[in-house]
Structure 1
Amino acid sequence: MLPRISALGLDIGKKRIGVAGCDGTGLIATGLTTIERQTFTLDVAQFQKLVQERNAQILVVGLPYTMKGELGYQAKQVQKLASKLAQVLNLPMEYIDERLTSVEAEQLINLEKKSTQFIAKGLIDRKAAAIILQRWLDLRRSSKPLQVETPLS
């Protein structure tokens, strides 16, 4: 049996960051909020509050590989921000492939609403973050090695 875990899943975009959390058992990921990006300092303040409220132990960050499985420009931008966040929050971080999570999130939302009306981008970001975190939780339970980065002190 795996130890209890409190993880935050992040779907980092240019304008917004979708945030998900999991129950302590590490079974179910749920979308929590969407952070509208402002300045790094203001964004960090919001994350510090979430980390404290949820006693977060790790950040799980979706890494947007290209369809060829390479690290493109956007993935490198995500890595820069995620590394800075992990360092400031003093939390370890793991990456997980996030290819097509936003598409999957939008499809799931459409199925849940049974409608194709306008969907708020923030909702898609939260749902994508939950998919990212759920993938990580599933991999964690199957004991596959993951790419871990710890912040520099």
Structure 2
Amino acid sequence: MARVIGLDLGSVTCGVAISDATGTVARTLKTIRFPQDDYDLCFDQVLSLLEEYEIKKVVLGLPKHMNGDIGERAQISIQFAEELEKEGYEVTLWDERLTTVSATRILLEGDVSRKKRKKVIDQLAAVEILQGFLDRENGGF
């Protein structure tokens, strides 16, 4: 399996995670910061990463409401995915409910300071999204 990138798209940041070459383990890569709702700028930066790391497959978090409904944030993710697909990338939308909560819990248990948590929370949420996908692809669940 080739490397895969996972994205946690927010309104001002996009956490990015990348898999190892075997497609087994996800790790943090970076946080893309952009002006609020400037998804074009974010998109360009994501494309640069995809080219740099020769990525063909993207797992993009889909922020559903707790009842499973699709809201405005999820619609933005769907549109972002459609634009990536137009560029020739394979995109899987991944239910990201509670990934940020889980990432926060991990950082709190690791006694990471509030300032440092803010810098890496989006990356860690992207790792949660990507690792869930990789586990499913590899028969983990």
| Range of TM-score over shorter length | 0.7 to 0.9
| Secondary structure of the structure 1 residue equivalent to 2:115 | coil
In the alignment, what sits opposite 1:56? 55
Number of residue equivalences: 139
Could you state the TM-score of these two structures normalised by the residue count of structure 1? Answer: 0.81
Q: 1:22 aligns with which of 19, 38, 47?
A: 19
TM-score, with normalisation over the residues of structure 2?
Answer: 0.87
Residue 2 of structure 2 corresponds to which residue in structure 1?
5
Residue 96 of structure 2: which of 95, 98, 106 is its match?
Answer: 98
Shift of the 120–86 alpha-carbon distance from structure 1 to 2, 3 Å rule, reads: farther
The answer for unaligned runs of 5 or more in structure 2 is none
Rounded Cα–Cα distance in structure 1 between residues aligned with 2:44 and 2:114: 33
Matched AA of 1:62: G
1:106-145 matches, cutoff 5 A: 106-112=104-110, 114-142=111-139
Structure 1 residue 74 corresponds to structure 2 residue 73: yes
Describe the shift of the 1:143–1:87 C-alpha distance in structure 2 as closer, same or farther (beyond 3 A): farther
**Aligned AA (1:76):** Q
Mapped pair 1:31 → 2:39: no
| Structure 1, unaligned runs of 5 or more | 145-153
Percent identical among aligned pairs is 32
For residues 20 and 97 of structure 1, the distance between their equivalents in structure 2, rounded to whole angstroms, comes to 16
- Give the alignment's Cα RMSD to 1 decimal: 1.9
Residue deviations 1:106-150 (CA, integer Å, cap 9, x gap) = 1111222x2453344341000000000000001111287xxxxxx
